[in-house]
């Protein structure tokens, strides 16, 4: 069962079934409106999209090793992303269709989106991955707030470069704050969820920061941790809310 307690605290009954959400916790008079923002790769979906792309370039093993080190915080994310994307040079844009078909949602991801919608909460995806994959996925679930890197294409093939600023840990935290402001949600009423070192700043900035199936460096620093279904985030928010009363 998942650890959904604050680090350093192990109250009785801490582990419970996150799939059951009390109707009383749904948004009602006086309830806080929230913004929930999650990472995408290895959080909202089960895979790392750059590795799915690299499979088609024959560089998956090389890319996976760099991804793992970057997510543990051993490498600068932007530099590591540039190195991984460089191995994709020459892939045809048709690869995006194949990768979209290969993406698998994390159990509880769609239910988390629906649960937020039921409560009147805002929801967004912010990714160090790629808009070409994340945007269609978001659209299929009715998610309108999305930020991700974009791959450069020339003459129908990937150039091995990205366009614009890399979505690193600073950009993720900035995006969380900007979306909260746009939604009229106080920063203390935001929720951030992620698994890798690139998520640490937004987890720290949020009112409720959650490490999800996370690398040790993230689990050690996040106030809350989960290892089960993604919709258990809703239970953590309830627990955090109760702890504030």
Closest CA to 52 of 103, 94, 93: 103
168 flagged as catalytic: no
CA 116 to chain centre: 15
Closest CA to 38 of 216, 229, 203: 203
Closest CA to 210 of 240, 187, 241: 240
Whole-angstrom Cα distance, residue 57 to residue 82? Answer: 15
Catalytic residue, from 3, 22, 23, 41: name it: 41
Catalytic residue, from 3, 17, 22, 39: name it: 39
181 flagged as catalytic: no
**11, two tokens:** 């109250």
Do the Cβ atoms of 125 and 145 come closer than 8 Å? yes
Closest CA to 203 of 173, 161, 171, 244: 173
Residues noted as catalytic: 39, 41
């Amino acid at each position: 069962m998942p650890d959904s307690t604050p680090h350093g605290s192990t109250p009785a009954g801490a582990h419970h079934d996150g799939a059951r959400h009390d109707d009383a916790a749904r948004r009602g008079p006086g309830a806080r409106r929230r913004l929930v923002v999650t990472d995408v790769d290895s959080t909202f979906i089960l895979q790392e999209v750059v590795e799915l792309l690299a499979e088609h370039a024959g560089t998956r093993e090389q890319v996976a090793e760099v991804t793992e080190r970057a997510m543990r915080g051993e490498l600068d994310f932007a530099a590591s992303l540039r190195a991984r994307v460089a191995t994709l040079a020459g892939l045809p844009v048709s690869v995006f269709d194949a990768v979209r078909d290969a993406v698998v949602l994390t159990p509880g991801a769609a239910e988390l989106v629906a649960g937020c919608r039921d409560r009147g909460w805002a929801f967004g995806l912010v990714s160090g991955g790629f808009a070409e994959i994340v945007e269609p996925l978001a659209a299929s679930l009715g998610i309108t707030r999305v930020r991700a890197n974009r791959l450069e294409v020339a003459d129908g093939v990937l150039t091995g470069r990205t366009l614009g600023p890399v979505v690193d840990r600073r950009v993720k935290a900035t995006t969380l704050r900007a979306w909260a402001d746009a939604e009229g949600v106080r920063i203390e009423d935001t929720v951030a969820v992620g698994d890798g070192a690139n998520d640490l700043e937004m987890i720290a900035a949020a009112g409720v920061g959650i490490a999800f199936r996370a690398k040790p460096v993230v689990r050690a620093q996040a106030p809350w941790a989960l290892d089960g279904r993604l919709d258990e985030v809703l239970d953590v928010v309830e627990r955090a809310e109760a702890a504030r009363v």
